[in-house]
Chain A
């Protein structure tokens, strides 16, 4: 999936996360996560994000995440929602989302 426009999904509320995606000029994939629980869960959060992006075949873009203590399911959902909102093609392939 290609990110062609800026998009956002999620909220700032507790247990949720705010995901902002935008196209990358340099055609690189850059991911930034900030979280109050970065020390304890930073690696885990990052792993789920990477996994989710891989599932959607996102190879470039700028992904900025403000985490408020979200569980894995919410991370997957919000990252997918943001990418789909910012993507060129809106075709949903359920296998990619699983």
Chain B
């Protein structure tokens, strides 16, 4: 199970950030060729991302590339660069329907064949940024075997909804968040929450993280390295959660050793999803420790 709590956005044209962000150890790093790059710099940024992917700077961190939409002059070139350079995941912005993903899947497969990359090794992440996208979330999430996640992008979504982002726990995202989550769970993939843009408001950020963690989001898109530790700490399980998780795993292992079909703990039956959850808890604990 790949941990994807933090997805750090890096503008594809900024050498300073690209060269140094790995020290902050996010779970995933997302090289942005779309909104963070001006039109006149698209070509140069594409090459920056191509070459940094091919270098060893981000070895050990999952690499995501946000390409431009495929119906722009840049999208397909971005995709060629990203797949050939070995990006782990392609993030497609403004995904409105399953056919967007299917089209992307076909192009990715073509490029994999042409450059000799293992077919299926390039994964996909759909970003939902509109009402249509939210409504089609389930079909989008199940549109391809390559899908590993579905993300809500708040800024454009809110504009599409003719609403606006408020300061605090926002009702305008409520339905979209739930829809994206349900789609992710139905498809068995990860769900990612929106960017929190006020980098100086730790309290507000943590409040939002608490909400989305509670809802079940696997992770969140981040725009500043200092948000990484805050997020990881918030996602760290409590001592109580960890000790319970250990007991669940022990019980499962015991049942397997004894060849018993049913796992029991404290007089209750433990089934597979609970064991899975316990594994995730321990994984998070290992990644960033526990919190009180």
Contact = CB atoms under 8 A, between A and B. Distances in A.
B interface, over-half SS: helix
A73 B44 contact: no
Contact of B43 (A16, A70, A76, A85): A85
Interface in A68-98: 70-74, 76-78, 80-81, 84-85, 92, 94, 97-98
A14 to B, nearest CB: 5
A81 B80 contact: no
Contacts of A77: 44, 47-48, 50-52
Nearest to B12: A77
Contacts of B14: 13, 16
B15 A70 contact: yes
A21 interface: no
Nearest to A74: B15
B16 A98 contact: no
B84 A94 contact: yes
Given A84-B43, A94-B115, A71 B19 contact: yes
A81 B84 contact: no
A10 interface: yes
Contacts of B20: 15
A16 B44 CA distance: 12
A9 interface: yes
Contacts of B52: 73-74, 77
Contacts of B55: 71-73
Interface size class of A (residues with CB under 8 A): 20 to 34
Contacts of A98: 54, 84
A11 interface: yes
Given A9-B44, A81-B43, A81-B44, A73 B16 contact: no
B15 A16 contact: yes
B59 to A, nearest CB: 13
Contacts of B80: 94
A94 to B, nearest CB: 5
Interface string B48-62: 101110110100000
A9 B48 CA distance: 11
B77 interface: yes
Contacts of A72: 55
Interface of A: 9-11, 13-17, 70-74, 76-78, 80-81, 84-85, 92, 94, 97-98
In order of increasing CB-CB distance, the 3 nearest A-B pairs are A16-B15, A77-B47, A73-B51
13 contacts: A15-B18, A15-B19, A70-B19, A73-B48, A73-B54, A74-B51, A74-B52, A77-B52, A78-B44, A81-B44, A85-B43, A97-B47, A97-B50
